[in-house]
């Protein structure tokens, strides 16, 4: 009986340590002081497309960004209504990903999934009907993507991979021509 009691304590300590470990791992993202949202807020206002400069050592906006990709983002705020992203997608490798302010990805579309080289996306609240958002496809666009956002504020990140260093200027020009603003 004396040998079983210490074994029980050891097992209880292991279970307790496991629970503490799981709780710590799950709570770390919410405790991080410099998440993506906090890093992007100082770069510009919401509902505006902002191009991230080409990466240089020790001058990354966010960690783990690829040097052969050009980035632009829009911190959208749906408090005043839907937000529209417009621009051109020069090739099938481009990708647009939508994140909550906590960094959770809720929608992604690649250039290959678009029927047209013209980018036309409307971000609306999940509980807002498409008709209420006033979405109508312009004549020059085959289709308007409607992204239903589960949150009022988030990030739309455009990634433009380069197929070679000589493609950087054209990718940067295409990103500069992309707009993000209130849907009118």
pLDDT at residue 137, as a whole number: 45
pLDDT at residue 143, as a whole number: 66
84-117, pLDDT tens digit by residue?
999 887 777 888 999 998 888 999 988 777 777 7
pLDDT at residue 184, as a whole number: 67
Residue 88 · residue 172 · CB < 8 Å: no
pLDDT at residue 12, as a whole number: 93
Domain locations along the chain: 1-31, 36-182
pLDDT along the chain (184 residues), means of 10: 75 95 86 78 90 82 84 91 86 87 88 77 80 48 76 92 81 88 78
Q: Please report the sign of the dihedral spanned by the C-alpha atoms of residue 169, residue 176, residue 139, residue 92.
A: positive
Residues whose CB is less than 8 angstroms from the CB of residue 40 and which lie 6 or more positions away in sequence, other chains included: 50, 61, 62, 73, 75, 155
pLDDT at residue 11, as a whole number: 92
* CATH code reported for the domain at 36-182: 2.60.40
pLDDT at residue 174, as a whole number: 86
pLDDT at residue 13, as a whole number: 94
Distance from C-alpha of 126 to C-alpha of 153, rounded to nearest angstrom: 12
Residue 76 · residue 121 · CB < 8 Å: no
pLDDT at residue 183, as a whole number: 75
pLDDT at residue 109, as a whole number: 87
């Amino acid at each position: 009986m004396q040998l079983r009691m210490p074994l029980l304590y050891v097992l209880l300590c292991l279970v307790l340590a496991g629970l503490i470990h799981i709780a710590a791992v799950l709570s770390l993202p919410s405790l991080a002081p410099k998440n993506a949202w906090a890093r992007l807020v100082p770069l510009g206002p919401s509902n505006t497309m902002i191009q991230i400069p080409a990466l240089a050592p020790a001058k990354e906006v966010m960690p783990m960004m690829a040097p052969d990709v050009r980035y632009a983002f829009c911190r959208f705020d749906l408090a005043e209504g839907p937000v529209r992203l417009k621009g051109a997608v020069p090739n099938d490798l481009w990708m647009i990903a939508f994140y909550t302010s906590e960094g959770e990805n809720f929608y992604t579309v690649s250039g290959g999934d678009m029927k047209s080289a013209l980018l036309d996306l409307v971000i609306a609240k999940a509980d807002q009907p498409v008709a209420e958002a006033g979405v109508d496809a312009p004549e020059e666009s085959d289709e308007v993507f409607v992204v239903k956002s589960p949150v009022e504020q988030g990030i739309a990140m455009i990634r433009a991979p380069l197929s070679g260093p000589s493609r950087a200027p054209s990718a940067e020009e295409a990103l500069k021509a992309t707009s993000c603003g209130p849907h009118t």
